Amino acid sequence: MSPLFLDLHQIDPAALAREAALGLLAQPAAVSPKFFYDALGSRLFEAITALDEYYLTRTEAAIFERHGAAIAAAVHARLGPRPVLVEPGAGSCRKAASLFGMLRPRRYVALDISVDYLREALWALQPAHPALALVGVGLDFSARLALPPEALGTDVGPSLVFYPGSSIGNFAPAQALRLLREARALSQGGALLIGVDRVKPAAVLNAAYDDALGVTAAFNLNLLRHLNRVLGSDFRPADWRHIAFFDVAASRIEMHLEARHATAVHWPGGERHFMAGDRLLTEHAYKWTPEAFEALLHEAGYRDCQHWSDDAGGFSVMLAA
Ligand code: AVJ
């Protein structure tokens, strides 16, 4: 089998450019973290997951290693022995692939805004899983999470929405609630398997988002190169520095790019001047307590929630239905 790739113009470059320009003109300037993910940005994120300081991916993988059999049993009890797996923001697809052995999906639908990277990932995955239906969809689900019907083929009915890695952290609570509702509708009475990073001491969080090797700084600065292509702008990454810190009151990491000196950016139809020290907000990564996140799941309409964690209680995996 070859992967089916649905390039249904779900991602509208002109709409992305308009959104980026609006963000650059906002007070203060802010652009969505989705603009991290061009092909290089997706690779830099993969590099982040290997950093000593970035405990998230490793901790979540340890939870799946230790509790994978119980998690798979709970999934099979709800969805039968060969579930359909749908993953928003699938990236390298490595997390899902590591669970194929236990979950035994009959179809894997991977969604990502980084279309070229996703296409490569699926082509690399297919040989090891020749009988599995692999579907890639280029999709910006930040406005709305929904699938083109072609993605499911004849596999309509309840599915497992897989949303690992604490990607939900990019959404403020009200938007996270909306996304969880959309995930629930998307699963058509199936279930949601989600990974959520927990509130923990600021020093640990700050190190995870401002690592000694500077990989997260490169990931953050690469957004400017991506914007230059999306928008036709003339950002110089050397004019900017990476800033990341945990805001305890808001329970979120904030990532910014800060102007090293007075600078300006121009694009067709607009420009903005920045003073030394002015910031461009690039990401929020919200951290949750398990209690608060379970309450959010309930508010989104899920009635049942199973919960697994690591010994240190740093990260949560929840199966909600
Ligand atoms: C992909 C959103 C889960 O917030 O930890 C990693 C992105 N940003 N380092 C996260 C990210 C900086 C990551 N998520």
Share of the chain above pLDDT 70, in %: 99
285 CA → ligand 1 middle, Å: 7
Which of 61-75, 94-108, 146-160, 188-202 has the weakest average pLDDT?
146-160
Q: Tell me if 89 CB under 6 Å of ligand 1.
A: no
269 CA → ligand 1 middle, Å: 31
Mutate which of 51, 94, 166 for ligand 1 pocket (most atoms within 8 A of beta carbon): 166
Q: Where are the domains of the chain?
A: 12-50+202-286, 55-200+288-320
pLDDT number for residue 8: 53
**Nearest residue CA, atom 10 of ligand 1?**
285
Distance in angstroms (rounded) separating the CA atoms of residues 200 and 268: 43
Q: Tell me if 48 CB under 6 Å of ligand 1.
A: yes
Res. 6 pLDDT band, cuts 50 70 90: confident
Q: Tell me if 167 CB under 6 Å of ligand 1.
A: yes
pLDDT number for residue 7: 61
Task: Give the bridge partners for 315, in sequence order.
Answer: 197
* Atom nearest to 166 CA in ligand 1: 3
Q: Tell me if 265 CB under 6 Å of ligand 1.
A: no
pLDDT number for residue 110: 96
CA distances from 37 to 88, 104, 137, 236, 239 (A): 13, 29, 15, 18, 21
Q: Tell me if 217 CB under 6 Å of ligand 1.
A: no
207 CA → ligand 1 middle, Å: 13
Indicate the pairing of strand 240-247 with strand 133-138. unpaired
pLDDT at 209 over 90: yes
Q: Which of the listed CATH numbers 3.40.50.1980, 3.40.50.10790, 3.40.50.1220, 3.40.50.150 matches domain 55-200+288-320?
A: 3.40.50.150
Res. 149 pLDDT band, cuts 50 70 90: confident
Torsion of CA 211, 217, 222, 224, to 10 degrees: 150
